[in-house]
Chains A and B, each alone.
Chain A
Amino acid sequence: MDFATLLQVLDSTVRLATPLLFACLAGLFSERSGVVDIGLEGKMLAAAFASAAVAAVTGSVWLGLLAGIVSATLMSAIHGLASITFRGNQLISGVAINFLASGLTVLIAQSWFGQGGRTPSLIGGGRFTGITLPFAEALSGVPVIGPIYAELISGHSILVYVAFLMVPLSWFILYRTRFGLRLRAVGEAPEAVDTAGVSVIGLRYAAIAICGLLCGLAGAYLATGLQAGFVREMTAGRGYIALAALIFAKWRPWYALWACLLFGLLQAVALRYQNIDLGAFTVPVQVMDALPYILTVIILAGFVGKAIPPRASGEPYLKER
């Protein structure tokens, strides 16, 4: 593999890791507050459709982004209603949201656009286009560093940079602010937070609102940045890969970045090479497809460091009387 191919693979890794990173951080906020979210997939899908549909109708990608965030947040609100207010089973609610998004997106797309459950292809202002960072042209002649800067770092759409900036931001919010401290506390010991006079319900709703916002960004990037329009089931399991990355990262922001880059790399390699010839034997493409899940199971099994979720995650909080 030469240097140019390597750069191409890494470039596509960055693109493919972006939606994973958004969704993974979304799950991080939700689960750190004690609300398990297996509905990331559905929220992304809803956001992908809403952003593509609005961008196609209005021709403005920014309105599309807004619609994506609103739709994912609405889905989050349903999840919150079921799992926080009515203390229902959070896993079942997540499953329901995934199906709701999977069905509604195609249903509405068919009813609005009549193109077999997809939106029209986005053109011009309906898409996020790449941004050329300063000096990318000038530096591209410099050996090694030039191409890395011009090809790998420059030229992505704005949401890619937002995603990577979200990592330090999430870290800061979670570990350096009062809100973050309380959010983490409510996922470990909600009764203590309640005793301190802070609203458990309020904190959890805030957490899933952030989750909705980030899922909205993930879905919008999928439909308006990575691809040009919505097609049915376009998330293709990314929500679950993000969930896997979250466990892989043991619910911590910086590790989430590395986990998403790793899984992005796996996707990029699987996309580029059908079967990988290692000389002695060939690695079939299906192994690459399954690797994120296999790695997560190994991590979950605790053979390579133990992944312990926030203590109160999955437990609805019932105030004692």
Chain B
Amino acid sequence: MDKMPAWADAVLVPLISILLAAVLSALVILAIGENPVDAFKLMVEGALMRSAGWGYTLYYTTNFIFTGLCVAVAFHAKMFNIGGEGQAMIGGLGVALVCLFIPFPHWSIALLVATLAAGAFGALWALIPAYLQAKRGSHIVITTIMFNFIAAAVLNYVLVNVLRPQGAMDPATAKFPEATQLPTFQDLFATAENPLFRGSPANVTFFLAVLACVAFWFLMWRTKLGYEIRAFGHSESAARYAGISPVRITVVAMLISGGLAGMMALNTTMGEAERLVMNATEGAGFIGIAVALMGRSHPVGIFLAALLFGFLYQGGAELALWTNIPRELITVIQALVILFTGALDNMVRMPLERIFMATRRRNG
């Protein structure tokens, strides 16, 4: 045996990586002349101590669950989908088209149809890179990066030239009709004597995200398709020998991945802005990478990681509001998390493995 116990691999390695990222972030805050302890207190205060803070935290969490799952599906098939951002943009287009042009009687039906539209549009945007990877061997990382930029151009064109209402200045669609507006946590949980989640954007899409986590787990570990995706990710040659078609798995995994990214747009366009704006994704597609890496591509991990990033996002907004620390601090933390849990994984893992080996030799 030359491996660490499974629990150390699943819990200890990411935990140490996050600790390293946290220490470095604290040093960054110190370096720009602020107090990291005060900053952290302020973040907790703003993100977790009030129900409105939770409303924002869970709103961001919803985005990151979807994009985290999106990246994770591709990871399981040993692909790196950097295109979540573009797929979410196009997913938003699907949501906007459905909401604007179909007269819905009730938000629940609208949500159902919009979910299908968002998933379908996002999946379609992932289809071309997937096909090119499977059939022509074009590297999916490069094609999905390119498709992010193409998506931004498409969205820009559609918002400026097609969907912008007459006379409006900013590139955005008209407001969605009343019937498609999703109930927020405030609508659901606030009472007259206890005004919870006041003014915060968290909405029913959060439950959809949790549902997606469960569905993801079921798909990956309880269905034949999930088994095939994971087998393909572990060894392409073994999978092919077992009769699994690489082309089919590549395309299907990327369709699921793109679909999940597209569904993120439900939260931002239908749940929050209630119209499609230019920068609806706000980089959530990229945060999905950090979330999936940190969550070890497992739905429980992804949920927790998304919650952490939701907290960081809301806390970061509070910091920018009350202190001299700009929001970009969160980008730095995000970069450090990606660096330590993704790229420098071996830096943490190698010494840990050595420690475990040493103790095992002493005991055995």
Contacts and interface: CB of A to CB of B under 8 A. Distances in A.
Interface of A: 38, 78, 81-83, 86-93, 95-100, 102-104, 106-108, 110-111, 117, 232, 237, 240, 243-244, 247, 284, 286-287, 289-290, 293-294, 296-297, 300-302, 309
Contact of A99 (B157, B324, B325, B331): B331
B335 A96 contact: yes
A103 B330 contact: yes
B286 A99 contact: yes
Contacts of A92: 80, 289, 293, 338, 342-343
B344 A244 contact: no
Nearest to A299: B138
B335 A103 contact: yes
A89 B147 CA distance: 22
Interface string B139-157: 1011101110110111011
Nearest to A308: B137
**What is the interface of chain A mostly: helix, strand, loop, or mixed?**
helix
Given A293-B149, A300-B142, A86 B347 contact: yes
Nearest to A79: B343
B326 A38 contact: no
24 contacts: A38-B145, A78-B339, A86-B345, A91-B141, A92-B343, A96-B342, A99-B332, A100-B332, A102-B335, A104-B332, A110-B326, A111-B32, A111-B33, A117-B328, A244-B142, A247-B142, A284-B157, A286-B154, A286-B156, A289-B149, A293-B146, A294-B146, A297-B128, A300-B136
B42 interface: no
Contacts of A88: 342-347
Contacts of B339: 78, 82, 93, 96-97, 100
CB-based closest 3 A-B pairs: A103-B331, A93-B343, A99-B335
Contacts of B67: none
B237 to A, nearest CB: 16
Contact of B343 (A89, A243, A284, A297): A89
Contacts of A309: 139
Interface of B: 28, 31-33, 80, 82, 128, 132, 136-139, 141-143, 145-147, 149-150, 152-154, 156-157, 160-161, 286, 289, 293, 324-326, 328-336, 338-339, 342-347, 350
A82 B127 CA distance: 31
A267 B312 CA distance: 36
A103 B161 CA distance: 33
A39 to B, nearest CB: 10
Contacts of A294: 146, 150
Contact of B329 (A103, A244, A302): A103
B342 to A, nearest CB: 4
Most chain B CB within 10 A, of A104, A108, A300, A309, is at A300
Contacts of A89: 80, 342-343, 345
B142 A243 contact: yes
Most chain A CB within 10 A, of B147, B156, B328, is at B328
A96 B335 CA distance: 5
B326 A297 contact: no
A23 to B, nearest CB: 14
A90 B80 CA distance: 11
B80 A297 contact: no
Most chain A CB within 10 A, of B80, B82, B141, B343, is at B343
